Structure 1
Amino acid sequence: MPQADCTVLYSQKNSSLCLFSGFIKGFYTIRYDVLWTKLRKETDISCEVVSILEYWYYNQRNVVKWAGTHSEMYGLDSLLKPKGLRYNSKKSEFLVFKAGKKVYANVPHLYLGGVALNRVERFKYLGHWVSDNLSDNEDLERERKALAVRCKMLARSIFFFVQDIKEELNKKNQDDSDALENVLTYVGEFGRYQKLLFLGMMPFGIFFAFVYFVQMFITATPQRHWCKVPEIEHLDVEIRRNLTAPGTGDDWERCLMYNVNWTHVLINNSVSPNTPTMPCKDGWEFEFKDIPYPTVVSERGWVCENAGNIPLTQTIFFAGSFVGGIFFGWAADYFGRVPAMIGANAMAIVGGIASIYTTGLWDFAFARFIVGTSYDSCFMTLYILVLEYVGPRHRTWVANMSIALYFGCGGLVLPWVALWVGDWRKLLWVTSLPMLVVAFVPFTVPESARWLASRGRINDAVKVLNRFEKVNGTKIPEDVMDEFIVSASQTRQTNESIWDLFRSGPLRKVMILMVLVYMACALIFDGLVRMSEGLGLDFFITFTLTSATEIPSVTLVAYILDKYGRRNLTCGPMAMSGILILIAVFVPKGVPQVTLAIMARFFINMAYNVAVQWSAELLPTPVRASGTSLIHVSGYIAILVSPFVVYSERVWRSLPLLILGITAIFACTIGVMLPETNGRPMPQTIEEGEKTVNKYSLCGKVEDIDENQEENEKEKALIT
């Protein structure tokens, strides 16, 4: 029911009084253009007063505020429907305020529809009594009592609902900023403690490289080997090889021997080239020139028909990484990041030392499986933990430079450590025992504050942040700390799961394409690493040069990623890598092929690192963790195949390069269909993820969205 209450000044005989007219009960549906006319013609109200009311009505403007937004300005005339004037003069009344002790007896009567309105001394307006003498004692007393009661109730209940208020406020702001990042702005985004943690990543980044690459050095195959013949072991090496292995010069049979009576051979000191051959029956002899130390392969004869043992044990290693990734991922969520990191490094130590005491294929494979369970988790747990405590402005370069410097340096150092040690067992001792420094982690590395709070260990989370304050020499405001505690401990529930992602057509397409791109990056990266042994140049020099590309390539990514975008820096370098690998198919072994392999490794390093970040930015928040885990596991599956791709060299010398080159070109062509995420907010829901795919894919379909319609729907929902 509309109301038309007005306050005007009425002047008579140089005296002023305030006239208060209440039409709340009198008017139901009002057409004001008719009202002004009737007030002038049918009442004793002066035309001046009516004109003032009419001017006020048509020129006033109002604004409705709601939750930080406000409506457009509007007038009262927009609220009423022109259905004519309807009123009840018997329910209308008026009151005249008395100024001081003066009594105004000559106040003219107000008429409505020819009926004189009743003049009153008190008027109840919005629950309050308004008196003509301006007295409000009754209201004051009533409000005093009510206020006292409310204050007592508020004092008793404030402790119980203050936390709920903070949570509600945090819910409203949780999309705009992260509470921990707010804390970091006060504690220091890259203070002394964060710098110490960055340096503390160094040994574990190097161990990460050792765990990944050391099996290549303990199972390296000396290329100069031939069948072993016990009857001629007393002869010189060159004579034994020439008598045993068919062929001339450096091109001799490594898996066949002459089928002759060796007593006659010793008498004649020669073998006819037309003599029948047979497979080696007493093992092999190895010349330690290209690989100048005994390896598992040379000790156990894993060459020729046994050469498949090498890719088999490497595949079992990565099967362990698949199991370990799942297990230690669960352990990190259930027991904490630090315990998971300690457990992963402990598995690497146990498996590495156990490998030393193996004697056959399957016990060695089992030991490498144990080592494989630590791969990735032995470093990535700390990697994620440190990034959590680094401010957004420093996160990109810390994420990339920690891998470039520490993982890259580990790859550079390992070949020369292997040469210096000169024995595969000693190499495992040297690369396994230093991991015992993980015992100092609980005393130096803080647990994730966000994880502690989410597990209800609020006091422990606050202690960790207080330690940052102490080391960095900073102070976190109390309200900022409260906001972090509420945000970190708040359970965010959603009905969206990984199955919703696959039920969404656009996101299902993105997920499949991203898995293929990531698998291609993993396969090409690992394949180029393992082919270092067979590119025709010294294995240790080739491995060092290809590993050296890690530092400049990842450093370059850190500086240009935000400028050129994720799609360009994944597909472009991958295409370049594929072209270089395909060119290497047609060039001879040695310096030309090694040069092309080094250049290809440089570009695939870039593509691989960008793909890791790109995959996380493509997926909506409710499925980001599970989705990226699935993509990461797909990389393990690709690496399982990698040793057999390299082993296909036995079929045709250039077949591994051809497979890797075609894979790179194929992945590049499907990668360009993925949406660009550079400079755009990450999607928070499945719906937002679909819009991202539709708007920012090269082959996407841009949807026209009526923004005004959406706003109108929101306003209607608020009004309802």
Structure 2
Amino acid sequence: METQDYDVITSFLGDWGPFQRTVFFLLSCSTIPNGYVGLSMVFLADTPSHYCRVPTGNGSGSTLNQSLIPSVAVNGTLTLSRCTRFKWRRDGQVNETEECLQGWEYSKERYISTIVTEWDLVCKEDWKVPFTTSVFFFGVLTGSFVSGQFSDRYGRKKILFITMALQTIFSLLQVISVTWEMFCVLFFFVGLGQISNYVSAFVLGNEIFSKSTRIAYSTLGICVFYSLGYVVLPLFAYFIRDWRMLLLAISLPGILYIPLWWFIPESPRWLLSQGRMHEAEEILRAAARKNGVTPPEVIFNQEESLELMNRNIKKRKHLYTYFDLIRTTNIRNLTILNCLIWMMITIGYFGISLNTSNMSGDPYINCFISAVTEVVAYTAAWVILRYVSRRIALSLPLLLSGSMLLLIQFIPDEYQVLSIILAMTGKFGVTVAFSVVYVYSAELFPTVVRNMGMGAASMSSRIGGIISPYFAYIGTYNKILPYTHGRHNYGNRHFKSVTARNASCYTP
């Protein structure tokens, strides 16, 4: 029984009844926490203004005395040093500088606390801030390796809820972190759970819905709801300025997903592949009752079920390896191009998203605009995928993104609003591309190596995620650098190369 036969056999359910609408909505809702958990580092790890504590006569630290802090030139402007102070002796100040021996005084204007102020992740320790986010993406990379195998073995639904629980539990444990190292280790497992949850929801929905609904689910469903979670993040962060309380507030909603276990079914396709025909029929009959239709007396006969199992056994016997992705020139070019495109799109997407706190203007407003831009972008991706060829749907948004981000370096400092508009237009383009590339890549890879091809591209994407925090990190020193370094080559030379070569992907 091929996938097409399954669609024909289950066509009695219809395409968009109460059953499909319920599952569509609930599975999409399961990705809402994914939208704010990883990107919460924009606020959890933001670095407020800080200066050295200066000693009093008894050698203890005191509040800021600007006369004891040297001035340094930053981009041609004099500002107080964040990492040095004038040396102090009992007989007075001397005109020599030293490190912040008594720690730092942090501005409370925007935050009560962040992990930066909690563990003094500044000056020589500031490398730990982007590394923390990279640890999260290491977890995402690990999860992308194991989620598919576990989902195939134990079922889509079980892995979906186990990984949702994993993400919630380890996020809650992060709240009581006593060291930066502990925070990082827990963040790794949060990342591991997050990607596995998202992939399981993606696969489960695509196996339950008919072909006419899958593109809508992949864009207006899980992608839009992911971005709605992102929209919520700056709202939480604006009213909760302490990092522990903010993390607690965005972790607790994960508990609300427990009741969904009784409303989201297992994939009937997966059950059939495991020979559990009776369970698959029960799910489909329950769906028929909910849709108000009468199912056939026999949905799957024993011969069809055995035929499916035998074909699965034959597929397992004929093992394809990752070597098959580079065996011929055609498939090798396809694999390399997809890996590069996925990596660069991920660097662009997360580089811009994580850099919102470094942009000119209010970080809460910038983050909110960035999140709303995603909602619009995913909606646009749904329309584009319906009416535009895949190659144009991928190339034009990338060209738009690269062009807008390159223009930022030519905008004078006094035109901050224009810089934000260009950055958000770039974010719009790369987000549309992020949505399109999933559909496009799945269609380009041959069926026999599709899972491995998507796995290789996904792995490249995770490597891009690990790198992306460092593009935001250089934004703390120069607000233009993340856009010129992160997108310059991609927006010009690389994009033209990809566009030219994509034509060869269709060569038989």
Q: So what's the TM-score if we normalise by structure 1?
A: 0.65
Q: State how far apart, in whole Å, the 1-side matches of 2:267 and 2:500 are.
A: 37
Matched AA of 2:52: C
Q: Report the 3-state secondary structure (helix = DSSP H, G, I; strand = E; otherwise coil) of the residue aligned with 1:456.
A: coil
Contact 1:220 1:297 in 2 (8 A): yes
Q: State how far apart, in whole Å, the 2-side matches of 1:503 and 1:234 are.
A: 68
Q: State how far apart, in whole Å, the 1-side matches of 2:402 and 2:120 are.
A: 35
Contact 2:147 2:199 in 1 (8 A): no
Tell me whether 1:246 sits opposite 2:59 in the alignment: no
Matched AA of 2:79: D
Higher relative contact order (CA 8 A, sep 6+): 2
For residues 618-649 of structure 1, the C-alpha deviation after alignment (integer angstroms, 9 at most, x for no partner) is 00111111110111111000111111222234
Mark the runs of 5 or more structure 1 residues left unpaired by the alignment.
Answer: 1-169, 266-271, 677-689, 696-720
* Corresponding position of 1:229: 54
2:324 to 468, 482, 500: 500
Q: State how far apart, in whole Å, the 2-side matches of 1:650 and 1:387 are.
A: 41
For residues 235-287 of structure 1, the C-alpha deviation after alignment (integer angstroms, 9 at most, x for no partner) is 996x624543536998221111111337746xxxxxx9xx2222211111111
| Residues 397 and 455 of structure 1: CA distance in aligned 2, closer, same or farther (over 3 Å) | same
Question: How much has 1:541 moved relative to structure 2?
Answer: 0.9
For residues 14-56 of structure 1, the C-alpha deviation after alignment (integer angstroms, 9 at most, x for no partner) is xxxxxxxxxxxxxxxxxxxxxxxxxxxxxxxxxxxxxxxxxxx
Q: 480-489 vs 543-552, which deviates more?
A: 480-489
Tell me whether 1:602 sits opposite 2:428 in the alignment: yes
Question: How much has 1:379 moved relative to structure 2?
Answer: 2.7
Matched AA of 1:619: F
Matched AA of 1:654: I
Q: State how far apart, in whole Å, the 2-side matches of 1:364 and 1:445 are.
A: 32
Q: State how far apart, in whole Å, the 1-side matches of 2:393 and 2:42 are.
A: 29
Tell me whether 1:518 sits opposite 2:352 in the alignment: no
Q: State how far apart, in whole Å, the 2-side matches of 1:195 and 1:313 are.
A: 38
* Corresponding position of 1:627: 453
Matched AA of 2:270: W
Tell me whether 1:618 sits opposite 2:444 in the alignment: yes
Q: State how far apart, in whole Å, the 2-side matches of 1:351 and 1:300 are.
A: 20
Matched AA of 2:364: F
Let me know the Cα RMSD of the aligned residues: 2.5
Question: How much has 1:502 moved relative to structure 2?
Answer: 1.4
Tell me whether 1:188 sits opposite 2:1 in the alignment: no
Contact 2:136 2:191 in 1 (8 A): yes
* Corresponding position of 1:287: 107
Q: State how far apart, in whole Å, the 1-side matches of 2:45 and 2:9 are.
A: 49
Q: State how far apart, in whole Å, the 2-side matches of 1:241 and 1:194 are.
A: 64
* Corresponding position of 1:48: none
Q: State how far apart, in whole Å, the 1-side matches of 2:81 and 2:475 are.
A: 16
2:144 to 317, 325, 348: 325
Q: Report the 3-state secondary structure (helix = DSSP H, G, I; strand = E; otherwise coil) of the residue aligned with 2:311.
A: coil
Q: State how far apart, in whole Å, the 1-side matches of 2:306 and 2:13 are.
A: 18
Correspondence list, 1:522-601, <5 A: 522-589=346-413, 590-601=416-427
Correspondence list, 1:30-69, <5 A: none
Question: How much has 1:208 moved relative to structure 2?
Answer: 1.0
For residues 513-559 of structure 1, the C-alpha deviation after alignment (integer angstroms, 9 at most, x for no partner) is 11111111011001001111111211111111111111111111211
Contact 2:275 2:306 in 1 (8 A): no
* Corresponding position of 1:278: 98
Count of aligned positions:
496
Give me the identity figure in percent: 24
| Residues 285 and 459 of structure 1: CA distance in aligned 2, closer, same or farther (over 3 Å) | same
Q: State how far apart, in whole Å, the 1-side matches of 2:498 and 2:431 are.
A: 16
Correspondence list, 1:345-360, <5 A: 345-360=164-179
* Corresponding position of 2:464: 638
Contact 1:532 1:543 in 2 (8 A): yes
| Residues 588 and 281 of structure 1: CA distance in aligned 2, closer, same or farther (over 3 Å) | farther
Question: How much has 1:340 moved relative to structure 2?
Answer: 0.7
Question: How much has 1:484 moved relative to structure 2?
Answer: 6.6
* Corresponding position of 2:495: 668
Matched AA of 1:301: D
Tell me whether 1:257 sits opposite 2:81 in the alignment: no
Question: How much has 1:183 moved relative to structure 2?
Answer: 3.5
Tell me whether 1:338 sits opposite 2:166 in the alignment: no
* Corresponding position of 2:238: 419
Q: State how far apart, in whole Å, the 1-side matches of 2:349 and 2:51 are.
A: 32
Q: State how far apart, in whole Å, the 1-side matches of 2:185 and 2:234 are.
A: 24
Q: State how far apart, in whole Å, the 2-side matches of 1:193 and 1:241 are.
A: 66
| Residues 403 and 633 of structure 1: CA distance in aligned 2, closer, same or farther (over 3 Å) | same
Q: State how far apart, in whole Å, the 1-side matches of 2:276 and 2:176 are.
A: 43
Q: State how far apart, in whole Å, the 2-side matches of 1:288 and 1:588 are.
A: 30
Contact 1:496 1:622 in 2 (8 A): no
Contact 1:569 1:607 in 2 (8 A): yes
* Corresponding position of 2:46: 220
Contact 2:377 2:429 in 1 (8 A): yes
Contact 2:139 2:191 in 1 (8 A): yes
Contact 1:246 1:257 in 2 (8 A): no
* Corresponding position of 1:296: 115
| Residues 484 and 560 of structure 1: CA distance in aligned 2, closer, same or farther (over 3 Å) | farther
Q: Report the 3-state secondary structure (helix = DSSP H, G, I; strand = E; otherwise coil) of the residue aligned with 2:294.
A: coil
Q: Report the 3-state secondary structure (helix = DSSP H, G, I; strand = E; otherwise coil) of the residue aligned with 1:510.
A: helix
Question: How much has 1:442 moved relative to structure 2?
Answer: 2.9
For residues 62-82 of structure 1, the C-alpha deviation after alignment (integer angstroms, 9 at most, x for no partner) is xxxxxxxxxxxxxxxxxxxxx
Q: State how far apart, in whole Å, the 2-side matches of 1:276 and 1:455 are.
A: 74
Q: Report the 3-state secondary structure (helix = DSSP H, G, I; strand = E; otherwise coil) of the residue aligned with 2:187.
A: helix
Q: State how far apart, in whole Å, the 1-side matches of 2:254 and 2:440 are.
A: 31
Matched AA of 1:611: V
Matched AA of 2:435: N
1:450 to 264, 269, 272: 269
Matched AA of 2:484: L
Matched AA of 1:644: Y
For residues 327-360 of structure 1, the C-alpha deviation after alignment (integer angstroms, 9 at most, x for no partner) is 2222111111111112211221222122122222
* Corresponding position of 1:166: none
Question: How much has 1:412 moved relative to structure 2?
Answer: 1.0
Q: State how far apart, in whole Å, the 2-side matches of 1:470 and 1:489 are.
A: 28
| Residues 546 and 415 of structure 1: CA distance in aligned 2, closer, same or farther (over 3 Å) | same
Question: How much has 1:496 moved relative to structure 2?
Answer: 6.4
Q: State how far apart, in whole Å, the 2-side matches of 1:664 and 1:376 are.
A: 27
Question: How much has 1:580 moved relative to structure 2?
Answer: 1.1
* Corresponding position of 1:207: 33
Q: Report the 3-state secondary structure (helix = DSSP H, G, I; strand = E; otherwise coil) of the residue aligned with 1:259.
A: strand
Contact 1:246 1:258 in 2 (8 A): no
* Corresponding position of 1:405: 224
* Corresponding position of 1:95: none
Q: State how far apart, in whole Å, the 2-side matches of 1:282 and 1:246 are.
A: 19
For residues 206-261 of structure 1, the C-alpha deviation after alignment (integer angstroms, 9 at most, x for no partner) is 11112221222211111x21111242899996x62454353699822111111133
